[in-house]
Amino acid sequence: MTKLTIFTAYNNAKKELKEAGIDTFGFEARQIIRHITGYDNSAIMAKYAEQLTPFQQTMYNDVLRRRKERYPLQYILGEWSFYGIDFYVGEGVLVPRADTETLVDYGLEFLKGKENAEVLDLCSGSGCIAVAVAKNSEAKVDAVEKYDTAYGYLEKNIERNKAQVTAIKDDVYTFNPSKKYDLILSNPPYISADEMEIIDEETSYEPDTALYGGEDGLTFYRFIAKEYKKHLKSGGALGFEVGFKQSDTVKAILSEQGYKNIGTKTDMDGIQRVVFGTVD
Ligand code: GLN
């Protein structure tokens, strides 16, 4: 096996990822070298002529092969940053996405100036929303997750970030909180049956249970909007992340259920990504 230096490994990774059609090949090659060497970007620059050890080289080949098969980079790295906070991720839990930061922004704006606020995050997954809200406000957050693997990540991420979040292992459909909340947030599964057929290869490695939102993708919105209204305090708010082109329908669902001050918030790509409403 030809011995690779950090420099040749990096350049080769860039080339192979590019050839595999991965748009963010430069960024990803850097992340992979960081992962394998344990060096940060400046150490990589300083030590570019260093040779990979046989162990690192085996790892490198393995990582590159898996990534070229479109296995998510986030799962390979085992962690990912969301809202400037690091989260453990792996198979069985949805990877935190930058789009979802829009929901955190909404939540934090709503909580501004509220003391002793109580927040509920439904379909919490890795806990990225719950932890980001807790770390950036005074609020106490309850996070509900049903599935074993995802729940394990939720617990680890709360612990890793020392966040004021209580993990609750329950099903959103049966959970019956003993208190009322100022704010309920959720990024539920929202992909429709038709769209499930055409998801990205990367996304196909993520759990269907975090993606599939029933035939039309709206099952969770209908249920949560209806059944969790009674769990909101007077003046409280419900905020959802929604999929591309779902905002009008989800606004209508909130309206049918009697929510007021219904609105949307746009993500970085100009997509209406958050739909919210309040109760009297
Ligand atoms: N945003 C994810 C995607 O489009 C879906 C996440 C979800 O269903 N909540 O891949």
Residue 109 alpha carbon to ligand 1 centre in Å: 23
Identify the residue whose C-alpha is closest to ligand 1 atom 2.
211
* Segment 55-100, tens digit of pLDDT: 999 999 999 999 999 999 999 999 999 999 999 999 999 999 999 9
Answer whether 190 contacts ligand 1 (Cβ < 6 A). Answer: yes
Atom of ligand 1 nearest to the CA of 244: 4
* C-alpha 189 to ligand 1 mean position (Å): 7
Average pLDDT, the chain: 97
d(CA 253, CA 257): 6
In which band, very low, low, confident or very high, does the pLDDT at 120 lie, cut at 50, 70 and 90? very high
Q: If you take atom 10 of ligand 1, which residue's CA is the nearest one?
A: 203
97 lines ligand 1 (CB under 6 A): yes
The ligand 1 atom nearest the CA atom of 188 = 9
Three-state DSSP state, 156? helix
140 CA from centroid of ligand 1 (Å): 26
Q: Given ligand 1 and candidates 123, 126, 147, 211, which is best to mutate, with the most ligand atoms within 8 Å of its CB?
A: 211
Q: State which ligand 1 atom lies nearest to the alpha carbon of 123.
A: 9
CA distance 114 to 98: 26
Predicted confidence band of residue 1 (pLDDT cuts 50, 70, 90): low
Whether 191 is in the pocket of ligand 1, judged by its Cβ within 6 Å, is yes
The answer to whether residues 92 and 149 touch, using CB atoms and an 8 Å cutoff, is yes
113 contact partners, CB below 8 Å, separation of at least 6? none
Predicted confidence at residue 3, as pLDDT, reads: 84
187 pocket-lining for ligand 1 (C-beta < 6 Å) = yes
- CA-nearest residue for atom 4, ligand 1, is 243
Q: For residue range 150-195, what is the model confidence (pLDDT) as tens digits?
A: 999 999 999 999 999 999 999 999 999 999 999 999 999 999 999 9
Q: What is the pLDDT of residues 195-217, one digit of tens each?
A: 999 999 999 999 999 999 999 99
Task: With a cut of 70, say whether residue 101 has pLDDT above it.
Answer: yes
Query: Measured from the CB, is residue 212 less than 6 Å from ligand 1?
Result: no
Between CA 169 and CA 173, with CA 171 as vertex, the angle to 5 degrees is: 155
Rounded Cα gap, residues 25 and 75, in angstroms: 16
Verify whether ligand 1 is closer than 6 Å to residue 203 (CB atom): yes
Look-up of token digits 């909101």: 232
Residue nearest to atom 9 of ligand 1 (CA): 189
